[in-house]
Amino acid sequence: MKSMLLLFLVGFAVVFDSTKVAFKAPTHFPEPIYNFDKNPLTNAKINLGRALFYDGLLSKDGTISCASCHSPYNAFAHTDHDLSHGINNNIGIRNAPALFNLAWQNSFMWDGAINHLDVQALAPISHPDEMGEDLIEVIAKLTRSKIYSKLFEKAFQDGEITGEHTLKALSTFQLALVSANAKYDKVKLGRTNFTNQELKGYSIYKSLCSDCHKEPLFSSYNFENNGLFVDTTLNDFGKGSISKQPSDSLKFKVPSLRNLSYTYPYMHDGRFQTIKEVLKHYSGNKFQSKTLSDKLKKPYDLSGNKKADLTAFLLTLNDSSFVFNSENKFPRDILLNQHKP
């Protein structure tokens, strides 16, 4: 990949690269739901998408990139603050969710406001508290860049820098973010075994957590009310704010349990810093609203060693090879040259 990127920087002729990259779903995963026929994967498109993902050029003042809130070292979430930060030090109302295994999802954002990955990036780009930029102006800035002109020529047959191409390149890079090499996955593939404590925790997970956090993705990606008391400074009612249906009030997208060691703080508003706090919530009293998930109306029994056992299992879902994969990191070859004076 690095040698490919260097070609763009030393003046070689640019040729559209139509070579498709097969999306290989892990053998123990279901079939992805994303339609790759409408946006085929290519290395050139992934490289372009990676550059765009890390480039502050997408924001109004050049200070905020997608990676500002979605760090690769945090499984493409962030840990330095509870709520997302944007241009002019603006603060949003939600915790930035982790980004991985997106090919198996058909709704995005905590409230499900976006129903397709290919347009998802438009939301943070245009949001005044995030990147605060107009897509038309983004395209104008990209068009003025010699390096991006070459990257788009390589990635798309017509070579044009358009809003559609920009958004599809971003989604292509994100589709390549697959996390499936945790200890859990190795157990499922017969390469190792759980410890006794992890097995006990796995049994607790299947009894208490699996309805919403389904294997092997560890989320149903549905919307649930998990009994959090409303933060009156945010007044965030989740999907109900989008659908305007009382039955959706306080329902938020169920996040994956994968990579929990890297993706704190937890919940849509980042109110919990540790797994211990999360388990305390589920074993305690909930906000008894009309839309509260039926299974959560009574506290979970996590007495004795159950919390420790469940935590031990949850830690088997950490995928360090994904978090430290150099192919997903900041593309120095492109961006450091892009912004040279």
- For the chain, give every domain's residue range: 2-178+326-338, 183-318
2-178+326-338 and 183-318, same CATH topology: yes
> What is the distance of C-alpha 34 from the center of its chain?
15
Rounded distance between C-alpha atoms, residue 240 and residue 11, angstroms? 52
pLDDT band at 14; cut points 50, 70, 90: low
Residue 11 pLDDT > 90: no
Tens digit of each residue's pLDDT (9 = 90 or more) over 213-256? 999 999 999 999 999 999 999 999 999 999 999 999 999 999 99
Does the pTM surpass 0.85? The reply is yes
CA angle 105, 110, 114 (to 5 degrees): 60
211: amino acid identity, one letter: D
Q: The domain 2-178+326-338 is classified under which CATH number: 3.40.50.720, 1.10.760.10, 1.10.40.60, 3.40.50.620?
A: 1.10.760.10
| pLDDT given for residue 4 in this prediction | 41
Q: How far is CA 294 from CA 72, 219, 222, 298, in A?
A: 35, 17, 14, 8
Residues 339, 57: Cα–Cα separation, whole Å = 10
CA distance 269 to 288: 19
Judge whether residue 339 has pLDDT over 90: no
Domain 183-318 has CATH 3.30.1310.10: no
> Alpha-carbon distance 155 to 108, whole Å?
25
Q: DSSP label at 81?
A: -
Percent of the chain at pLDDT > 90 equals 89
